[in-house]
């Protein structure tokens, strides 16, 4: 039985473009944050009629543009 890419979230990284909901599921972020990123210009989106589309390349650029977490040194708790 073949999986349906529309419902199999593991396959979402293989699509050419995401719906907003598909992008949110694939990248595990909320609806409000997605639109904040679009309005701020950090996430490029396109329109197809009423539907908002985020291309795979735009999603990858957005991900690459996120700040990197810096490792902080924790004090030793050796007894």
pLDDT score recorded for residue 78: 65
Average pLDDT over residues 33-42: 98
For a pLDDT cut of 90, what percent of the chain falls above it? 67
User: Bridge partners of 53?
Assistant: 19, 46
pLDDT in tens, 59-77: 999 999 999 998 887 767 7
Tell me the average pLDDT across 51-64.
Answer: 97
pLDDT for position 1: 45
Q: Which of 44, 63, 45 is nearest to 53 (CA)?
A: 45
CA-to-CA distance for 43 and 76, rounded, in angstroms? 40
pTM given for the model: 0.71
């Amino acid at each position: 039985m073949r999986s349906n890419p529309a419902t199999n979230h593991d396959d979402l990284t293989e699509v050419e473009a995401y719906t907003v909901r598909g992008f949110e599921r694939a990248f595990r972020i909320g609806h409000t944050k997605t639109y904040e990123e679009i309005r701020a210009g950090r996430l490029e989106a396109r329109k197809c009629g009423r539907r908002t589309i985020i291309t795979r390349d735009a999603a990858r650029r957005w991900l690459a543009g996120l700040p990197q977490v810096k490792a902080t040194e924790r004090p030793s708790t050796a007894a």
